Amino acid sequence: MKNEISINQKKSVKTLTKIGVLSAIAGVLMLVEMPLWFAPSFYKLDLSEIPVLIGAFALGPFAAIAIEFVKILLNFVLNGTITGGIGELANFLIGCSFVIPAGYIYRHHKTMKTAIIGMVVGTISLAIVGALLNYSVLLPAYAKVFGAPIQSFIDMGNALNPYIIDLKTFILYAVVPFNILKGIIVSAITLLIYKRLSPILHK
pLDDT in tens, 31-80: 898 999 999 888 889 999 999 999 999 999 999 999 999 999 998 888 77
Identify the CA nearest to 203 among candidates 10, 6, 2, 26.
10
Q: Domains in the chain, start-ordered, CATH in brackets?
A: 2-201 (1.10.1760.20)
**Total Cβ atoms within 10 A of residue 173:** 20
Residues 34, 35, 39: CA angle, nearest 5 degrees: 150
Residue-wise pLDDT for 118-144, tens only, equals: 999 999 999 999 999 999 988 988 888
pTM over 0.75: yes
Residue 141 to residue 14: CA distance in whole angstroms: 39
Alpha helices in the chain (DSSP H): 2-30, 49-59, 61-79, 86-108, 112-133, 139-146, 150-160, 167-170, 176-201
φ, ψ for residue 40 (rounded to 5)? Answer: -55, 160
- Answer with the residue of higher pLDDT: 95 or 108: 95
